[in-house]
Amino acid sequence: MIKLGQYNHLTIIRFTDHGAYVDGGEIGEILLPKAYVKDEMHPGDEVDVFVYLDQQERLVATMEEPYAQVGDFAYLEVSWVNQYGAFLDWGLMKDLFVPFSEQKKTMEQGNSYIIYIYVDDATKRIVGTAKVNRYIQPAPHKDYYRGKTVDLLVWQKTEYGLKVIVDNKYSGLIYNDELQTYCSGQHHDVPRTGDRLQGTVVTVRDDGRLDISLQKIGKGRFRDFADELLEELEAAGGFLAYTDKSSSEAIAERFGVSKKTFKRAVGTLYKARKISLKDDGISIF
């Protein structure tokens, strides 16, 4: 079965002046245009190609790498618009069509939007939609748990924080206080729509939505920060003027972690007899 709008592992059948033809099974032969044919290719060779539709709506194979494929969420820029809809640059010769009926608001040339790519059942064409909510699924509790590392696509800002698409399927939220800690501590820029990041699951809600942190959590996070804190101490000459009485804001500004994480890391290093605690700070033994 050919996977339209995705990568396929296919066998070269023959060559013509137009290029190489690969075996599409029941669909028949699919042209790999001459521009993508290499001298070392021979009949019987297997190749990985992306299959989509050309300007005449014919199946065609390409060696070009699209920014996303069918089944993906992506952040794409509008190349041009006409009376039927918008056409987005997705890295291929033929742009991705988003009809007006699939736009949440009228798309404008030069602007970028979060979209979902799918094959339209009625027309059998590859299209995009900005109405991505209907393709977001609830995260399965058996696969998602506190501390799991996940891939994120930043979706949109809300009053509570940043909505993100998790692992190309699920809805997640990074709360404002988490963003503040993340940005102030290590002076990260505030994530913007379209950014791709890694995060950590904090909570899996009953409805399958995920609360996300941009920092590691759990015991692993404390151990990792303990090592980082020790390095910071060494770089500072063996002493840092921070204690459990330091403010949460001061700790977040200096280290990029919560006060709880700081105190746990200090406790880890103290129990390992790597630091000593003083009234005005911590120092290396």
Could you report the per-residue pLDDT of 116-156, keeping only the tens digit for each?
999 999 999 999 999 999 999 999 988 998 888 999 999 99
pLDDT, average across residues 28-52:
96
Q: Which two tokens stand for residue 34?
A: 């001459």
pLDDT, average across residues 196-221:
83
**What is the percent of the chain with per-residue pLDDT over 90, rounded to a whole number?**
67
Query: Do residues 251 and 262 lie in contact, with contact meaning Cβ atoms separated by under 8 Å?
Result: yes
Q: Average model confidence (pLDDT) for the chain?
A: 91
What pLDDT is stored for residue 134 in this prediction? 95
pLDDT tens-digit profile of 210-232? 999 988 775 555 556 788 888 88
Q: Is the dihedral of CA 103, 106, 109, 113 positive or negative?
A: negative
Q: Which two tokens stand for residue 77?
A: 């820029």
pLDDT tens-digit profile of 84-101? 999 999 999 999 999 999
What pLDDT is stored for residue 226 in this prediction? 82
Answer whether residue 266 shows pLDDT above 80.
yes
Written as one string, the DSSP assignment of 182-209 is: HHHHS-PPPP-TT-EEEEEEEEE-TTS-
pLDDT, average across residues 236-251:
88
